[in-house]
Amino acid sequence: MPGDASKALARVLKEVLQPVFPVTLEDADRKLFELGADSLTLVHLLVRTEMVFDIEIDVEEIGGELTASKLAELVEKHLGEKHPERASEGRQRSERTGDDV
C-alpha cells in the first residue's frame, strides 16, 4: 500500500496542512514543532483533519512528535477503522500481487 500512503500524504498536505501551515513534501518527516508550529496550530490541524476526513483522532495520538507523514499514517489508520472493507481489500490485493500492504 505504498501508493495509498503517498496519496494520503499528498492529500493531508494539500487539504489540511498547507492551508494552515507552510509545510512541503520535503518537510514531511520533520516535526511540525521544529518547523515553527505551536500547540494551537497542532490543535487547529487536528480539528481540520477530522473535518476533512470525517474521522476522530485523539489528541494524545499526535503528541509532540507530529510530522506530516505521521498525520497521514493516523488518517490511514482511522479511515481503515471506519471503513474496514477498504483495509481488507488492500490486504487481498497484496496477497494476489505479492506487494506489501
Q: What is the reported pLDDT for 4? A: 64
User: What are the tens digits of pLDDT across the range 33-91?
Assistant: 999 999 899 889 999 999 999 999 988 887 768 999 999 999 999 988 876 665 444 34
Number of domains in the chain: 1
User: CA angle, corner 44, sides to 43 and 50, nearest 5?
Assistant: 90
What's the number of CA atoms in the CB half-sphere (13 Å) around residue 79?
A: 19
- Rounded to two decimals, what is the model's pTM? 0.73
Say which CATH number the domain at 21 has. Answer: 1.10.1200.10
User: What are the tens digits of pLDDT across the range 14-46?
Assistant: 999 988 888 888 999 999 999 999 989 988 999
Q: What is the reported pLDDT for 68? A: 92
Give me the domain span that covers residue 76.
2-97
> Residue type for 73, please?
E
